[in-house]
Amino acid sequence: MTISHEQVEHIADLAKLDLTEEEIATFADQLSAILASVEQLREVDTSAVPPTASVLPLSNVLRPDQVVASLPTAEALANAPDAAADQFRVPAILDESP
């Protein structure tokens, strides 16, 4: 399986990455190689194996519905590159809500 130039562009776009033509070509090759490597798993007969939903040896890890004190606002905002009126301030993104 190969990853096309367009697919790399699309993934880069979703990841908000700006790639040069050269990088796109490099990643297309590398991603194709990685997929080819993973493809080898197809050789294993898994017809009798149920799909794995989780690899953790745990289930039902829950916590009771109890409130614990939150961070002070100043601390919550401490790492923000920009803040105003006790809020994170970011460049406006219009007409692109998810």
Q: Does 50 bind other proteins (CB under 8 A)?
A: no
Which are the contacts of 77, defined by CB distance < 8 A and separation ≥ 6? 83, 86, 87, 88
Q: How far apart are CA 71 and CA 88, in angstroms?
A: 15
Which lies closer to other proteins via its Cβ, residue 1 or residue 62?
A: 62
Q: Does 65 bind other proteins (CB under 8 A)?
A: yes
CB atoms within 10 A of CB 27: 19
CB of 94 to other proteins, least distance (A): 7
Which lies closer to other proteins via its Cβ, residue 31 or residue 76?
A: 76
Q: Does 97 bind other proteins (CB under 8 A)?
A: yes
| Radius of gyration in angstroms for the set of CA atoms belonging to the chain, rounded to a whole number | 22
Contact residue for other proteins among 41, 45, 53, 81 (CB under 8 A): 53
